Amino acid sequence: MEEVRIAVVGLGHRAHAWIRLLQRISGYRIVAVCDPIEALLEPARAAIEYGGDVSATTRYEELLADETVDAVALCVRCEEQGALAAMALEAGKHVNSEVPAAHTMEDCWRIVLATERSGKVYQLAEQTRYWGFVDAWRQIVEEGQIGRVTFCEGQYIGYYGTRMFFQDTKSGRHCEIDELPAYPDAQPTWIQRMPPIHYLPHELSPMLKVLDDRVTEVACMSTGSPSYAHPEITAPDMQVALMKTEKDALLRMATGFTQPVSHARGHHWYQVMGTNGSVEWARSGRDRPKMWRADNQQHDMADMDWRFERTDAPAEARASGHGDADYYVHAAFRDAVLGRQELSFDV
């Protein structure tokens, strides 16, 4: 196999970003697109340079039976996300899945078992673990520069307006709250019912990479439903998880998507504290990442030039999305499917 013949499933906004990258990164060929909303099929094909050669279907089972499909790019946003991934693995397809992986423990285990039994590649396409500062922090922790890590924080308080919470079932268009009267067929999306804490991979994944650790205990708390910021939305404004790791570090992870927050703070923020110092991400657009060491004659935190973008990024990675990190999940999946290199982030 010289290229991965891939089908894109779930044709919303995120899928179009994947379609763009899958044409730009060598080793892929899109052969099919799939979404239960028929109106979304042709715009997806039109976004593909060779779209006339790409099959389109509203039936997922039909796609899984297609022998010309080697792998599924799962870009869905639904309660059955984990089950859809497992179905593809059970049908003999490799799977590259958008986050989160699944919404029930049963579906998580089904993915693990289907991967092991099929021998196919499953990857959760979590890209923030590839950010430049994540590797810098991992090296700092590995070298013991900040001592033994005792506490770590990550939060994704993302606010993108209210468009992602309602979708017109005929056109597939997402609607703001004030647009709903013009779209009588609009329905609440799965994100309204999804616990925000399920969308934690972008915080937990990079921090566990930094710590080279795993979680052993979890406790969570949530504000009430509906949202205080937007009462039309049933999702709670904030959820927090407290965790303990195998190496005896404590983690505080938080997520929320309904309340306004400044752009720079609202996407991602992290902190790692140890017995000899700490590292911290920027808190605003005017702030800088910071580091402090107890044994370095420092009286305060020092500004650092860490960034999302990697200094060693290849040309293909530049402007791929999410601080150049989107490239790496697709490159890693391609290389695993083609037998070039095993995944570093698997089941």
Place of tokens 């070039």: 340
For residues 144 and 123, give the distance between their C-alpha atoms in angstroms, rounded to a whole number.
30
The DSSP annotation for 20-66 comes to HHHHHSTTEEEEEEE-SSGGGHHHHHHTSTTGGG-EEES-HHHHHT-
The pLDDT of 305-325, averaged and rounded, is 96
The pLDDT of 249-274, averaged and rounded, is 88
pLDDT value of position 263: 67
The pLDDT of 93-110, averaged and rounded, is 98
| Contacts within 8 Å (CB) and 24+ apart, 107-116 | 107/81, 107/82, 107/83, 108/82, 110/82, 110/83, 110/86, 111/82, 111/85, 111/86, 111/347, 112/347, 114/86, 114/89, 114/90, 115/89, 115/346, 115/347, 116/347
Q: pLDDT: is 341 or 1 the higher one?
A: 341
- Dig out the tokens for 75 from the structure: 């870009």
The fold adopted by the segment(s) 4-127+315-337 is Rossmann fold (3.40.50)
173-214 pLDDT tens trace:
999 999 999 999 999 999 999 999 999 999 999 999 999 999
pLDDT value of position 304: 98
166-178 pLDDT tens trace:
999 999 999 999 9
pLDDT band at 267 (very low <50, low <70, confident <90, very high): confident
Domain boundaries, the chain: 4-127+315-337, 132-303
For residues 301 and 41, give the distance between their C-alpha atoms in angstroms, rounded to a whole number.
52
pLDDT value of position 69: 99
pLDDT band at 266 (very low <50, low <70, confident <90, very high): low
pLDDT band at 261 (very low <50, low <70, confident <90, very high): confident
- Dig out the tokens for 96 from the structure: 């590259």
Percent of the chain with pLDDT over 90: 93
47-86 pLDDT tens trace:
999 999 999 999 999 999 999 999 999 999 999 999 999 9
224-239 pLDDT tens trace:
999 999 999 999 999 9
Q: Which spans in 103-238 are helix H? A: 105-118, 132-142, 190-193, 201-211
Of 200, 202, 75, whose CA–CA distance to 129 is shortest? 202
What does pTM read for this prediction? 0.95
Of 70, 85, 20, whose CA–CA distance to 49 is shortest? 20
pLDDT band at 295 (very low <50, low <70, confident <90, very high): very high
pLDDT value of position 328: 98
Of 251, 228, 229, whose CA–CA distance to 240 is shortest? 251
- Dig out the tokens for 159 from the structure: 């606010």
CATH architecture of 132-303: 2-Layer Sandwich (3.30)
The pLDDT of 76-104, averaged and rounded, is 97
Which of 205-214, 258-267, 285-294 comes out lowest in average pLDDT?
258-267
pLDDT value of position 264: 54
DSSP state of 174: B
The pLDDT of 275-280, averaged and rounded, is 99
pLDDT value of position 149: 99
Entry field: residues in the chain: 347
pLDDT band at 265 (very low <50, low <70, confident <90, very high): very low
For residues 106 and 120, give the distance between their C-alpha atoms in angstroms, rounded to a whole number.
19
Of 146, 156, 158, 132, whose CA–CA distance to 257 is shortest? 158
Q: Is the dihedral of CA 139, 140, 141, 145 positive or negative?
A: positive
For residues 173 and 175, give the distance between their C-alpha atoms in angstroms, rounded to a whole number.
6
